[in-house]
Structure 1
Amino acid sequence: MTETPEPPEYVPFLARIVDIFLVGSLPPILIGVSVLAGLVALLATPREEDPQIVVPMADILISAPGLPVEEIERQVATRVEKLLSQIDGVEHVYSTSRAGQAVITVRFFVGEDREDSLLKIYNKVYSNIDKIPPAVRSWVVKPIEIDDVPIVIATLWSDKPDSIDDFGLRRIAEELEIALQAIPEANRTTVVGGRPRTARVELDPDALAARQTSALDVAAALGVSNVRGFAGGFERNDVFTIVDAGDFFDGFEALRHSVVNVVDGIPVLLQDVATIHDGPAEREDYSWIGFGPGESRRAGLVEPALFFPAVHVSVAKKKGTNAVTVAHRVEERIQALSSSLLPAGVHVRITRNYGQTADEKVNDLLESLAVAIVIVIALIAYSLGWREGLVVAVAVPVTFALTLVLNYWAGYTINRVTLFAMILSLGLVVDDPIVDVENVYRHLATRAEPPLAAVRRAVNEVRPPILLSTLAVIASFLPMAFITGMMGPYMRPMALNVPVAVVMSTVVAFTITPWLAYRALYKRAISDTSPPAPPTDQTSVYRFYERSLGPFLDSRGLSRLLFVSMTVLFVLAALLAAVRAVPLKMLPFDNKNEFQVLIDPPEGFTLERTDAIARELAEVLRRAPEVRDFEIYSGLASPMDFNGMVRHYFLRQGPSVAEIRVNLLPKEEREMQSHEITLRLRQELEQVASATGVGISIVEVPPGPPVLATLTAEISGSPDVPYDRIREGALALEERLSLEPGVRDVDSTVEADSPRILFVTDQEKAALSGVAVSDVAATVELALDGKDATWLHV
């Protein structure tokens, strides 16, 4: 009789995968390739402090000289707002109207394609150009994006202001800017501060009257005389000759001898009616640098009322480039040019280096990640043994190496959110190798099976819970990928990297950990002569848990008591936030090395008065031991940061605005965090501000995506409500908010009243004199604000 063979034992699919790598030679290759690819990804992935947030945004700057603010708001700004709100993908449209001008800001939803969004704006504006009121003289669309934020600011300052002032610094800065533009990864470069070189023509009213020449005649003559253009060509003797007509002024001498009018057949030269100055433009702003006690070269620099003229060159990076690399190349180029470009008495100082801060932040987090891994490995080695710790020591770096590869492939940068996701996932990632090696250790200790069979059984026992835990983590973090607003792209690296790290940990648990556990524990298992380990239910740990939890499982009353106790504790914990015993924040305060002080004097303050107040506030900062340096910008805005881009600080200009940017010592060299320093300085700064009659705002760089303000209230009314009524409501709300506990730096968009003179022309007398009203208005504008007549090519 023939014996029927038994059917082969069914091996589950997951067990077959484990068997392939358990007995094969693929794991060592996979370890080497993974670690090498991870190192390449770590070096190749661009580094930055925060994730890139694409917020398509543009400002439309409209100029309509002469129109009152009411007409600007109703006839210009409102119409443009309605047009822009019709564009699909637009989230917000808001405007600011002033006499003669308006700024309309259109912001798209986060994640909208930037190029498509800008095309939509241009198409909407220019396809409706016929609806723009005739009074509008000009408009310009200015796109704004994160890559316009400078990552490096080089500040040129002079310790010999008598010989090299802001005018001389400006000319040096312009040469430096041209050199920095040659860096391939550099984006927009800008010179901030200092008076540019101009040919200033100061007209003599008596000489003009004597020669029957008006100021507008002079301006028009200069504009039409300094012209050169292509005029065509002709053929002669079989040769085609190109003809240019006109010519530019070749210098100041040609400008002085230019003809501006002809009276009774006699030419009137410019030098007959004006004085020409070659030098700095008229003063419109001030820019200073000062030093605090934290400056290492403080000898002779940290003195009261000692401020040095300064001009700043800002450099932004191109999209997708490494901020660390770009900043390093900018520093190298500046250092190479310093010896030939900077005269004696002129110094250059890097007052912003986001590449360095990004590199330091990334390195700090990488160090924290490495320390956490070492601690976990040490604990495993201490509790189970060094061989078991070796398994975890290999599995965790391989997991993170594969995660970095996928992070690079997905187009993300290495930033603090990416690394925070890896630190967060470390506790999840180590679970898989720990569970594997602990179960392998337990099975080998019982010596119930041969080592290979024991490892196979131990690993296959824990495959289902490992897969379920992986799916649970993915389900927990995947919703973060659907967060809207600026927090969406900010938190998206976490939504990607935590699930990816856990998935890679599971992959390593299937392919590498069983092989490592078998190789690391095999020799000890076959050479161990101690008695086999007892069953699990006979161990002291099991008995301890049984005695602790058994009564609650056996008694219905005790289990209910435990549930009620946990519920009460949960409610008490929630009440801590309700009664403000624990502050609630989206993100913790960041320990930055910089902060900003915005100064808002009342309308009507002169530039000199505003600058004097800014320097008085700077003296408070000079006494702070943590301050290295500070830069004062009076009458103009400092180079923007991401926070200033969203809040439009870069539009601040005029005689009644100022700001101070403060650089602190590195956090390793100071005891207090930046937020604590600003809280300490706030009281003294506010005392000075109150005494001088200005408002200030202390602005810290937010740890996450910036917003317009922590609290923002919009005051609106029906069309029949006058603007003055809305203005009164806004001021009343501002006063009420200032009384709210915990609310500081309350401000509004209501512009304070300022002196204004309306120059009205007597039209009858003007007509009898043969003078047009427009000529009178243009002459007054020329006399008070000047006029750019032409460009001098020298």
Structure 2
Amino acid sequence: MIADTFIKRPVTAIVVSVVIVLVGIISLINLPIAQYPNISPPTVSISGNFIGADAQTVEQTTTNPIETQVNGTPGMTYMSSNSTSSGQSSITVNFEVGTDINIATLDVQNRVSVAEPTLPDAVKRLGLTVRKRNPSIMVALAFYSPKGTHDALFIGNFVNLYVKDAVTRVKGVGDVFSRADDFGMRVWFNPEKLAALGITPAEVNAALQEQNLQIAGGTVGGNPQPGTQTFEYTVLTNSRLNTREQFENIIVRTRPADGSIVYLKDVARVELGRFDYGINSFAMDRPAAFLLIYQAPGANALDTYERLMTTLNDLRKTFPKDIDFSIPLETVSVVKASINEVMHTLIEALILVVFVVFLFLQNWRATLIPVLAIPVSLIGTFILFGPLGFTINTLTLFAFVLAIGIVVDDAIVVVEAVQHNIDHEKMSPKEATQKAMKEISGPVIAIALILVAVFVPVGFIPGIVGRLYQQFAITIAVSVLISAFVALSLTPALCTLMLRPSKGENEKKNILEKFFSAFNHWFGRVTNGYVKGVGAWIRKTPYVIGMLVVLFVGLFLLFENKPSGFIPTEDEGRLLVTYEMPEAASTTRSVAMLQDLIQRIRNIPETRVVGGLAGLNIISFSNKSNAGTIFINLKGWDERKGAGHHAQDVMNKIRAATADIKEARILVIAPPAIPGLGATSGFTFELQQTTSTDNIQQFEKVANEFLAKLNQRPEIGMAYTFFNSRTPSYQVTVNRDQAKKLGVSVAEVYTTLSNFLGSSYVNDFNLYGRNFRVMTQADSSYRSSLQGIEKFYVRNSQGNMIPLGSLISTKVVEAPAV
């Protein structure tokens, strides 16, 4: 018998328990901390850019070929994609919960490599990015100039050059997504000057490629050489350009007849500007640069955030004057608050359990023995957290709160049995313990197995609910099993060392013992009353059964009429606002809307930091000129006590403050209850067209009818979509007959149009030790309206410049932007 071994060797039992506690503490130190168990599916994102292409072109030429290859990746459950009119292609591949994300990322990368040769050259040159990603943002950092000394370009490049790398190296940070401006050498064509000189955009691009390149100069005097060679010299070249002046002096054309030279500055305006003008960020009413930081899988959120803040505070000392950062979004405070609340409950439960045990055992020695079972059972449970992939979260801590009252049961049974033998059988503590363990070892094991049988099946409930409560159930089951082992080892060993005979009835009692005597008298009366009541009800069995039936029916009706949900939405201390202006609204209008909204929201007293991005829809994570997202970090819960300051109240205040805005659809959204399960609270579903038709307008009609019916249901507060197939667009058609008659290649027509209206990536240049891109495009005045096309020219086979407008026709059509 296991108990007899430890009764004879109590030191062994104590040592075993101490080892369990020590190993548990060591395991606890290395465990990740989170608000909830990680039940969000592992995701891998694929992103690429086809600059200048419309949404349908991006889908057909980039997104679909990649999806075709990626489909069927082992462990994949589904994938979704966005193709936008900004040329962005983004695909999210979701895998089964528990899939090794590293292997999944490698599998996706291999399949993307197979698809890459079929993609447009423009996409391949910019490159495809395959990343494993935590679906939810841990922290959003906004860097800005409080006094307005620096513009967004300066701030963005400072962040990309000096801050991003340091943040990426922080232990626990999985990914850093920069929404900060990068430098770009912008070459803005003047189509009229190009036409006057008979030069095409393609010629300019060719000159850039020819005269801005990286060449290895080699060495002078390198081996093999005669034995008389004395020195060896490295040949340095300045073939790659890095200043605006150098680019301006690129030679586009020479005329040997008259010796004239056409420089780039003669036909274009060159500036060191932004690589991408599609995203504009603001924080605290100032232009800003955003870093969106994702936590690494399995990392400790609290430790990661603390290390991140330490790194940023160290970097802050080296920031240029009038550069600072704010935090418009962070998910760590709510984790810390949740863990603290449960820890307080855990301590309260521990105190209450100790008090109740002492109240009924009425002996500090007898009380101490089962109380010592609590830390051994609970801390020992952490040993299995690592191998099982568990985290310290609100559900596992809540399991400990519940387990506190369970793990002492077995020990109390043992103590009571031993004390009974000492008092009534007049045995020594050792003899009493041996006799008691022979009688109750079986029941102790049976109690533990019954409790395990109750909780373990909860961990095998299918679906996401089962995954959510799996850690809760297994934590209780493991702690119960350890408590049973403690009841068979440490508890009997301590009984032999600590228990003593109780005082007789006639012995002198102290104040506490008198209180216990009075309590026992009162409790005995209550017990006798309960026994009499039960005896009376036993004689009225039909009435009791009838009452039970009525009770169960009532409970069933109440349950049926009570609204159900996954997890209630709580005050997370942060909010999101998204807005969408009329289709085809310009970036300028979107930026003005963003600034107006930020100012209105900042006037609400419960907000602490407000920052946003114009041109980004955070729900679909797609770039749209008419959309924007605002992050709102609320003041701490201790600063928002009392009625009217809850996050839901703040949402209502934001809606009231923006109710008069008619130019945009504004959504005020709470974050998801569990990070990673969607971008917002509520639920998201995908409506898929399974037929082969390409009638997007008909699909949109069906989707809108479906949403209208959803919004009529009483349980749906709001259903919405950002899909719109009716974005105003210009359809350009080439008159092929006319082009051929004039000796113009159809490909040349489309290429010229793309070079002027799109943004062409030519090559790279070096600055501050980094590579940046050289981009060409027509100057803004030629792209502000359709009339600008009239000034575009294309060269025919005879070398004459033909107006592009004479070869094409345009009409306004409706097409999806995403």
**TM-score bracket for the superposition, by shorter chain length:** 0.7 to 0.9
The Cα shift of 1:259 comes to: 1.0
* Separation (CA, whole Å) in 2 of partners of 1:462 and 1:679: 59
Q: 1:730 to 1:211 in 2, by over 3 A?
A: same
Please tell me whether the aligned partners of residues 573 and 633 of structure 2 are also in contact (alpha carbons under 8 angstroms). Answer: yes
Matches within 5 A, 1:528-543: 529=507, 540=525, 543=528
Match status 1:157 vs 2:144: yes
Matches within 5 A, 1:63-462: 84-96=70-82, 103-124=90-111, 126-127=113-114, 138=124, 142-147=129-134, 150-161=137-148, 163-174=149-160, 175-183=162-170, 185-193=172-180, 195-230=181-216, 235-237=224-226, 247-264=239-256, 265-280=259-274, 283-290=277-284, 307-343=285-321, 345-355=322-332, 357-385=334-362, 386-446=364-424, 448-462=426-440
Match status 1:51 vs 2:28: no
Q: 1:231 to 1:71 in 2, by over 3 A?
A: same
Match status 1:584 vs 2:564: yes
| Equivalent residue, structure 2, for 1:474 | 452
| Equivalent residue, structure 2, for 1:626 | 606
* Separation (CA, whole Å) in 2 of partners of 1:58 and 1:332: 29
Match status 1:681 vs 2:675: no
* Separation (CA, whole Å) in 2 of partners of 1:711 and 1:701: 11
* Separation (CA, whole Å) in 2 of partners of 1:744 and 1:704: 21
Q: 1:134 to 1:521 in 2, by over 3 A?
A: closer
Please tell me whether the aligned partners of residues 478 and 495 of structure 1 are also in contact (alpha carbons under 8 angstroms). Answer: yes
Q: 1:223 to 1:704 in 2, by over 3 A?
A: closer
* Separation (CA, whole Å) in 2 of partners of 1:501 and 1:213: 80
**Does 114-123 or 389-398 show the bigger shift?**
114-123
Match status 1:653 vs 2:623: yes
* Separation (CA, whole Å) in 2 of partners of 1:284 and 1:716: 30
Q: Which amino acid aligns with 1:275?
A: R
* Separation (CA, whole Å) in 1 of partners of 2:70 and 2:157: 40
* Separation (CA, whole Å) in 2 of partners of 1:526 and 1:415: 49
Q: Which amino acid aligns with 1:168?
A: F
Matches within 5 A, 1:566-577: 566-577=548-559
Please tell me whether the aligned partners of residues 58 and 105 of structure 1 are also in contact (alpha carbons under 8 angstroms). Answer: yes
| Equivalent residue, structure 2, for 1:8 | none
| Equivalent residue, structure 2, for 1:25 | 11
**Does 511-520 or 53-62 show the bigger shift?**
53-62
**Partner of residue 506 from structure 1, selected from 477, 484, 501:** 484
The Cα shift of 1:792 comes to: 2.2
Q: Which amino acid aligns with 1:208?
A: L
Please tell me whether the aligned partners of residues 58 and 141 of structure 1 are also in contact (alpha carbons under 8 angstroms). Answer: no
- TM-score, with normalisation over the residues of structure 1? 0.83
Please tell me whether the aligned partners of residues 142 and 611 of structure 2 are also in contact (alpha carbons under 8 angstroms). Answer: no
| Equivalent residue, structure 1, for 2:533 | 548
Question: 2:318 is paired with a residue of what secondary structure?
Answer: helix
| Equivalent residue, structure 2, for 1:669 | 639
Q: Which amino acid aligns with 2:27?
A: A
* Separation (CA, whole Å) in 2 of partners of 1:508 and 1:438: 15
Q: Which amino acid aligns with 1:468?
A: A
* Separation (CA, whole Å) in 2 of partners of 1:268 and 1:636: 40
- CA-to-aligned-CA distance 1:323-375 (integer Å, 9 cap, x gap): 333322222222222222231x3222244444555444334323321221112
* Separation (CA, whole Å) in 1 of partners of 2:458 and 2:24: 25
Please tell me whether the aligned partners of residues 201 and 275 of structure 1 are also in contact (alpha carbons under 8 angstroms). Answer: yes
Structure 2: any 5+ residue segments left out of the alignment?
Answer: 510-516, 768-818
Q: Which amino acid aligns with 2:350?
A: I
The Cα shift of 1:731 comes to: 0.9
| Equivalent residue, structure 1, for 2:745 | 772
| Equivalent residue, structure 2, for 1:562 | 544
Q: 1:418 to 1:596 in 2, by over 3 A?
A: same
Please tell me whether the aligned partners of residues 228 and 244 of structure 1 are also in contact (alpha carbons under 8 angstroms). Answer: no
- CA-to-aligned-CA distance 1:468-521 (integer Å, 9 cap, x gap): 232122223323443454445443322431111111111111112223344443
* Separation (CA, whole Å) in 2 of partners of 1:763 and 1:633: 43
The Cα shift of 1:756 comes to: 0.8
* Separation (CA, whole Å) in 2 of partners of 1:482 and 1:349: 43
| Equivalent residue, structure 2, for 1:496 | 474
Question: 2:278 is paired with a residue of what secondary structure?
Answer: coil
The Cα shift of 1:242 comes to: 7.4
Match status 1:596 vs 2:589: no
Residue identity (%): 22
The Cα shift of 1:447 comes to: 5.2
* Separation (CA, whole Å) in 1 of partners of 2:312 and 2:119: 48
Q: Which amino acid aligns with 1:549?
A: V
Question: 1:657 is paired with a residue of what secondary structure?
Answer: strand
* Separation (CA, whole Å) in 1 of partners of 2:647 and 2:243: 55
Q: Which amino acid aligns with 1:612?
A: A
Q: Which amino acid aligns with 2:245?
A: E
* Separation (CA, whole Å) in 2 of partners of 1:135 and 1:740: 49
Q: Which amino acid aligns with 1:661?
A: F
Question: 1:430 is paired with a residue of what secondary structure?
Answer: helix
The Cα shift of 1:530 comes to: 8.0
* Separation (CA, whole Å) in 2 of partners of 1:517 and 1:541: 30
* Separation (CA, whole Å) in 2 of partners of 1:591 and 1:424: 25
The Cα shift of 1:230 comes to: 4.0
Give the alignment's Cα RMSD to 1 decimal. Answer: 3.8
Structure 1: any 5+ residue segments left out of the alignment?
Answer: 1-12, 291-306, 639-647
Please tell me whether the aligned partners of residues 575 and 668 of structure 2 are also in contact (alpha carbons under 8 angstroms). Answer: no
The Cα shift of 1:190 comes to: 3.4
- CA-to-aligned-CA distance 1:514-564 (integer Å, 9 cap, x gap): 233444431646999489x9x99x9656533431222344x3xx2233233
| Equivalent residue, structure 1, for 2:714 | 741
* Separation (CA, whole Å) in 1 of partners of 2:315 and 2:65: 51
**Partner of residue 590 from structure 2, selected from 592, 610, 620:** 610
The Cα shift of 1:104 comes to: 4.6
- CA-to-aligned-CA distance 1:669-726 (integer Å, 9 cap, x gap): 322575533553365267345x334142513231466158526363545436944333
* Separation (CA, whole Å) in 1 of partners of 2:316 and 2:49: 41
* Separation (CA, whole Å) in 1 of partners of 2:594 and 2:715: 26
* Separation (CA, whole Å) in 1 of partners of 2:239 and 2:560: 76
Question: 1:629 is paired with a residue of what secondary structure?
Answer: strand
- CA-to-aligned-CA distance 1:184-219 (integer Å, 9 cap, x gap): 5544333324x3333332333343234322222112
**Partner of residue 703 from structure 2, selected from 727, 730, 741:** 730
Please tell me whether the aligned partners of residues 329 and 632 of structure 2 are also in contact (alpha carbons under 8 angstroms). Answer: no
* Separation (CA, whole Å) in 2 of partners of 1:252 and 1:753: 41
The Cα shift of 1:464 comes to: 3.0
Q: Which amino acid aligns with 1:710?
A: F
Q: Which amino acid aligns with 2:253?
A: N
Q: How many pairs are equivalent?
A: 742
Please tell me whether the aligned partners of residues 173 and 293 of structure 2 are also in contact (alpha carbons under 8 angstroms). Answer: yes
| Equivalent residue, structure 1, for 2:777 | none
